[in-house]
Amino acid sequence: MLSGLSKKLNQTFARLRGKGRITEADIDLALREVRLALLEADVNFRVVKQFVASIREDAIGANVLESLTPDQQVIAIVRDKLTDLLGGEAQKIQFASNPPTVILLAGLQGTGKTTSAAKLAGLLKREGKKPLLVACDIYRPGAILQLQTVGEQVGVPVFEKGTASPPQTAKESIAHAKSIGCDVVIVDTAGRLHVDEAMMTEVRAISDAIAPQEVLLSLDAMTGQDAVNAAKAFHETLPLTGIILSKLDGDARGGAILSVRQVTGVPVKFVGLGEKLDALEVFHPDRMAGRILGMGDVLSLIEKAQTNFDTKEAQAMEEKLREGRFDLEDFLHQMQEIKKMGPLENLLGMVPGMEKAMQGKGGLNVDEGQMKQVEAIILSMTPQERQRPEIINGSRKRRIAGGSGTSVQHVNRLLGQFRDMQRMMKQMSQMAGGKMGKKLGKIKAPRGINPMRLMR
């Protein structure tokens, strides 16, 4: 995600690091490279011009040029300006004081609009809402069936009236939502391959019929400036309140997300980061700015962990680790829980400094194939072997290797690594309970922090 832009910006700022003092010429050279990086990322050229001018205005000052850490000052300015460019603060859904809240979803065909409708419904459901999906695309073959299918997958009901008038269907859906106790209505409208008068007339008629609290536009991040142009066209017809930017995980450049707010004035409210129906997140401009500059996104990583990990299960696992009862069954379970959080490369990109470590030649290699291989090896074991790996002898290793499509060497490597991990956990447990633990227990920690817990 935005890896090309992130790499170029980090290379630019690396040249400023280590200089005791930087000059106005140094800043101009760095900003020239920033300008080129943004243009190569397909960011609107007017946006680039304003952005770079704004950074220069703040960077050319005594506070930076005479600072002992000028590189950090410049990066801090760029981060603040990037955050402003991306929208400043996260924008949330404006819920109606008298339910149901009505959300109209518009967009061109092929932007993932119907899938985004289901993703949004699933996200709101996880937040405690009771959404209803409404099928108002009566033109695309299979559109209604697709919405019903994805609606069923996220556990959200779908209202449809076949080929009836879309504005009338949308209007009737509100009464239906009230009758079944739904407090959010998400209307999926028809798209076209390009903006045309017929589509705009219909979506405007639907909007007039239901008076939505939110009008969200689905855009494909990978189409760059075409997405921004589509947003401008829709905003001229509809009072857009927000944008859902899909396929951001596949966008190495970043032109759309860095241009759309500045060009249209409409904030990006949600971003799609994968094909799965739970891969939709609230967009946080400050966190995205941090990721682009290689600073990670720890808050989003924590939120993902809180969403995917059960608290009681985590506590039970912590107890097992501390007591040395952690087995391959537990290891497999933890791997599967991590996979639910999304692609490993995306997760590592949220760790500060890890984005840089994964770039260039000799960078950290994230091979999800190895995780699948480990999973296959453990699944080829019997429950007894997973719980007591010490019983795995030569013949068992050959059977496990054959069942997982690997070699005995792969099985040996996994078992060796697991033994090392168990040994390390045991040593840490002993340190926490012995003399080292007593010393740590005397350390005065800030309120709410237990140093003993940090050892676990």
Q: Are residues 264 and 210 in the same domain?
A: yes
243, 269 Cβ separation under 8 angstroms: yes
Q: Please give, one letter per residue, the 3-state secondary structure of 146-214.
A: HHHHHHHHHCCCEECCCCCCHHHHHHHHHHHHHHHCCCEEEEEECCCCCCCHHHHHHHHHHHHHHCCCE
**Which residue range is the domain that position 321 belongs to?**
302-441
DSSP lists the bridge partners of residue 103 as 186, 214
Q: Going residue by residue through the chain, which has 456 residues, state the pLDDT in tens, using 9 for 90 and above.
A: 566 777 788 777 777 776 667 788 888 888 888 888 888 888 888 888 999 999 888 888 756 666 656 777 788 888 888 889 888 888 889 999 999 999 999 988 888 899 999 999 999 999 999 999 999 998 888 899 999 999 999 999 999 999 899 999 999 999 999 999 999 999 999 887 777 788 889 999 999 999 999 999 999 888 878 888 888 888 888 889 999 988 887 665 667 888 888 888 899 999 988 788 888 989 888 888 887 776 654 555 555 555 555 666 666 766 766 666 778 888 887 777 777 666 666 665 555 554 554 555 444 455 667 778 888 999 999 999 998 898 999 999 999 999 999 999 999 988 988 887 777 766 666 655 554 444 444 444 333 333 333 333
Question: In the block, which residue shows the tokens 């559109």?
Answer: 143
Q: Are residues 17 and 109 in the same domain?
A: no
Does a structural domain hold residue 143? yes
Q: Are residues 105 and 38 in the same domain?
A: no
Nearest of 234, 219, 259 to residue 49 by alpha carbon: 259
Q: Are residues 323 and 371 in the same domain?
A: yes
Q: Are residues 288 and 142 in the same domain?
A: yes
Q: What is the CATH number of the domain that holds 257?
A: 3.40.50.300
Does a structural domain hold residue 153? yes
pLDDT (0 to 100) of residue 385: 92
220, 246 Cβ separation under 8 angstroms: yes
Q: Are residues 236 and 357 in the same domain?
A: no
pLDDT (0 to 100) of residue 64: 66
* Half-sphere exposure for 452 (CA within 13 Å, toward CB): 11
3-state helix, strand, coil split of the chain in percent (to 5) is 60, 10, 30
Helix (H) or strand (E) holding 424: helix 408-433
Q: Are residues 187 and 235 in the same domain?
A: yes
Q: Are residues 263 and 141 in the same domain?
A: yes
Does a structural domain hold residue 448? no
Does a structural domain hold residue 446? no
Q: Are residues 410 and 379 in the same domain?
A: yes
CA dihedral 107, 108, 109, 111 (to 10 degrees): -70
Does a structural domain hold residue 328? yes
Q: What is the CATH number of the domain that holds 436?
A: 1.10.260.30
Q: In what order do the strands lie in the sheet with 214-220?
A: 158-159, 131-136, 184-189, 101-107, 214-220, 242-246, 268-272, 280-282
Q: From CA 456, how far away is CA 453, in angstroms rounded? A: 5
Does a structural domain hold residue 449? no
Q: Are residues 431 and 402 in the same domain?
A: yes
Point out the domain boundary residue: 263, 293, 323: 293
Does a structural domain hold residue 451? no
Q: Are residues 44 and 134 in the same domain?
A: no
Distance spanning both ends of the chain, measured CA to CA: 33
Rounded to two decimals, the pTM is: 0.66
Point out the domain boundary residue: 266, 293, 320: 293
Q: Are residues 115 and 253 in the same domain?
A: yes
**Number of folded domains that form the chain:** 3
Does a structural domain hold residue 447? no
Point out the domain boundary residue: 33, 63, 86: 86
DSSP lists the bridge partners of residue 216 as 105, 242
Q: What is the CATH number of the domain that holds 71?
A: 1.20.120.140
